Every structure is written in C-alpha cells, then in structure tokens.
Amino acid sequence: MRSLTFLSFSTTAPTGKKGGSGRNSEKRRERSKVAARCRRSKESEIFSELAEFLPLPENTRNALDKASVMRLILSDLKLRHMMQR
C-alpha cells in the first residue's frame, strides 16, 4: 500500500499597498498567475494520489472530478473506520 505524502502550501498576506507603477503591477500579476498555476498543479497531483487509493478500476478513477474523489475517499475512510469497530 502506498503512503500518503503531505505537501505544505505557503500563503502570504497582502501588503495593503495600492497603486505603484504599471510595470511592477504587471510583474506582480504575472507572479501571481505563476503561483496560482503551481498551486493548482500541486492540488491536482494530490487529488490524483488520493484517487489511487480508491478501490476502483483505473479508467473510472481517472474520470472522477475533485469533488467525487473527496466524497469517495471520505466514504471509504468512514467505512473502514466502522469495520474496525
């Protein structure tokens, strides 16, 4: 059985500064886009890893959306917990 890998996501609070030059604003916007893309990529990796633990055929697992993966993983965990009692 595979082990779960936990990733940490760092967030920074907004500085509250407004305005500034258009060039800095564009750079900040681009960095924000790259950071969001990176977060989404990590999130997708985590959901794919979670889906691998589901007792379903691979083609079915690959077709699941994120909400379905979460719902099925939670149901599986609850069922396993109940069976251990």
Count the domains in the chain.
1
Q: Which domain holds residue 44?
A: 24-84
Comparing 10 with 80, which gets the higher pLDDT?
A: 80
33 lies in some domain: yes
Dist. CA 28–CA 18, nearest whole Å: 12
Give every CB contact of residue 69 below 8 A, 6+ residues apart in sequence.
47, 50, 51, 54
Ramachandran assignment for 64, one of left (phi > 0), alpha (psi -120 to 50 degrees), beta (any other): beta
**pLDDT of res. 1:** 46
Q: Which residues contact 71 (CB under 8 A, 6 or more apart)?
A: none
3 within domain boundaries: no
**What is the per-residue pLDDT across 34-59, written as a single tens digit (0 to 9) for each?**
999 999 999 999 999 999 999 999 99
Q: What angle do CA 40, 78, 66 make, to 5 degrees?
A: 20
Q: Which residue, 44, 37, 46, 35, is CA-closest to 10?
A: 35
pLDDT in tens, 18-32: 555 788 999 999 999
Given a cut of 90, is residue 12 above it in pLDDT?
no
pLDDT of 83 reads 95
pLDDT class for 13, splitting at 50, 70, 90?
A: low
In a domain, 37, yes or no: yes
Q: How far apart are CA 27 and CA 1, in angstroms?
A: 44
